[in-house]
Structure 1
Amino acid sequence: MPKSLADFKYLSFDVVGTLIDFESGLTHCLKQIGTERGVDIDGEAALALYRKARYLPDVGLFPDDLVRVYLVIAPDLGLPAERALGERLRDSAKSWKAFPDSVQALAQLAKRYKLIAMTNAQRWAFECFSEELGNPFYQGFTADDTGTEKPDPAFFQHVFEFVQSEGSTKDDILHVAQSQYHDIGISRKLGMTNCWIERRHAQKGYGGTIEPENFTKPDFHFTSMAALADAVGEKSDA
């Protein structure tokens, strides 16, 4: 039988792109730099360049890696390839905003579930993101904690071991994310139940997120966190 939203003890979340609007954060900073230099920056074009640069062989941990990424993409954007500007892009992560529905939805969901953050970001950035989101998480796992990034199964294994220490299993987790590549595909392969938050449902392409080789049909599908929270509320009232 298909699981109901009421069947889970934990909700695990991708953070950057699902809860935090990193695309707007990145493009806002790049457009600011562009304005100062008299250069008009196209947001979608910048995201396409970012996506390509982010996954080159010499990739580093995120968001520290944004310094390197900026130096790679700056010439194509018509911006100065200066390290100080790359550091500015990196540091902009400290002020990236939540999607408008994230804080309220998480607060509502935290009343029913234990919320676990699973982010490819480093711990310093996650602490900023968590504060922006109202510190809703029961537990958080970062690239620093796991030594890897999703979609590496090893990242997920850290979470499985954590819930096992509390007497639960991965069957008690609903994994919630916007990235087909980093989260939805691999969570299905690992036997998790998943929920796709299709943040770019009104936009073409994959923006700043790498395109998956194959599309994975999720177990649950919403276009916003608010819709997920509302669906959980309806189950609670039933």
Structure 2
Amino acid sequence: MAKTFADFKYLTFDVVGTLIDFEGGIKDCLADIAKEAAVAIDGEGALKLYRTARYSADADLFPDDLVRVYLAIAPELGLPAEAKYGERLRDSAKGWKGFADSAEALARLAKRYRLIAMTNARRWAFEHFSRELGNPFYAAFTADDTGTEKPDPAFFEKVFAFVAAESNSKDDILHVAQSQYHDIGVSRKLGLTNCWIERRHAQKGYGGTIEPAEFTKPDFHFTSMAGLADAVEKAKAA
């Protein structure tokens, strides 16, 4: 039998891309560098280059890896290939904004569930993201905490162990994310109920996120966090 919103105690969240607009942050920073260099760049084209560079074999943890990524893509964009600009791109993560509906929706959901962040970002960056979102999380797991990145099942196992220590299980979790590759596919394989937030529903392609080998149909599907929060409140009132 399909689960309802009343069946969950925890909502686990991908952060970068689901709650924080990292694509906008990267494009804005690159656009500023391009303006200073008197160069015109295409934002979506830059994201495609970013995606290829980000998921190379020698990738470092995010967003520290943005220094290396910048140096890899700068020549193709006609931008100055200097480390100081890569460091600027990395440090821009401190000011990345949440999607317009993220903080408000999280505040509403926190009234009903324990919210857990699951991010491939390092802890230093997550602290900035959490403040931007209003510090709504009951617990948080970063790449520094898990020693790995999603879609590695080991990342999820760390969260399962945390929930088990509270005498609960993965059956009590609804995993919420925008990335088919990092979250939706693997969460299905691990037996989690999932919710796809399709942030790029009005845009073509996968932007800065790697394309999955196959599409996974989610248990719940919304195009915004507000849509999820609305659905939860509607179900509660019914």
Query: TM-score range with shorter-chain normalisation?
Result: over 0.9
Q: State the alpha-carbon separation in 2 of the partners of residues 5 and 47 from structure 1.
A: 35
> Hey, what does 2:143 align to over in structure 1?
143
Are residue 103 (structure 1) and residue 103 (structure 2) matched?
A: yes
Are residue 209 (structure 1) and residue 209 (structure 2) matched?
A: yes
Q: State the alpha-carbon separation in 1 of the partners of residues 39 and 22 from structure 2.
A: 22
Deviation at 1:143, TM superposition (A): 0.2
Q: How many residues align?
A: 238
Deviation at 1:236, TM superposition (A): 1.1
Structure 1 stretches of 4+ moved >3 Å:
none
Q: Which amino acid aligns with 1:234?
A: K
> Hey, what does 2:76 align to over in structure 1?
76
Q: For residues 52-91 of structure 1, what are the alpha-carbon distances to aligned partners after superposition, in whole Å with 9 as ceiling and x for unaligned? A: 0001111000000000000000000000110000000000
Over the aligned positions, Cα root-mean-square deviation in angstroms equals: 0.3
Q: State the alpha-carbon separation in 2 of the partners of residues 41 and 34 from structure 1.
A: 7
Are residue 197 (structure 1) and residue 174 (structure 2) matched?
A: no
Deviation at 1:3, TM superposition (A): 0.1
Deviation at 1:6, TM superposition (A): 1.3
**Which residues of structure 1 form unaligned runs of 5+?**
none
Q: For residues 15-73 of structure 1, what are the alpha-carbon distances to aligned partners after superposition, in whole Å with 9 as ceiling and x for unaligned? A: 00000000000000000000000011110000000000001111000000000000000
Q: Which amino acid aligns with 1:15?
A: V
> Hey, what does 2:186 align to over in structure 1?
186
Q: State the alpha-carbon separation in 2 of the partners of residues 7 and 42 from structure 1.
A: 44
Are residue 93 (structure 1) and residue 87 (structure 2) matched?
A: no
The DSSP-based 3-state class of the residue aligned with 1:115 is: strand
Q: Which amino acid aligns with 1:27?
A: K
Q: State the alpha-carbon separation in 2 of the partners of residues 14 and 55 from structure 1.
A: 18
**Which residues of structure 2 form unaligned runs of 5+?**
none
Identity rate, percent? 76
Q: TM-score scaled by structure 1? A: 1.00
Q: State the alpha-carbon separation in 1 of the partners of residues 40 and 119 from structure 2.
A: 32
> Hey, what does 1:154 align to over in structure 2?
154
> Hey, what does 2:229 align to over in structure 1?
229
Q: TM-score scaled by structure 2? A: 1.00
Are residue 35 (structure 1) and residue 1 (structure 2) matched?
A: no
Q: State the alpha-carbon separation in 2 of the partners of residues 131 and 42 from structure 1.
A: 30
The DSSP-based 3-state class of the residue aligned with 2:221 is: strand
Q: State the alpha-carbon separation in 2 of the partners of residues 41 and 103 from structure 1.
A: 31
> Hey, what does 2:56 align to over in structure 1?
56
Q: For residues 123-159 of structure 1, what are the alpha-carbon distances to aligned partners after superposition, in whole Å with 9 as ceiling and x for unaligned? A: 0000000000000000000000000000000000000
> Hey, what does 1:13 align to over in structure 2?
13
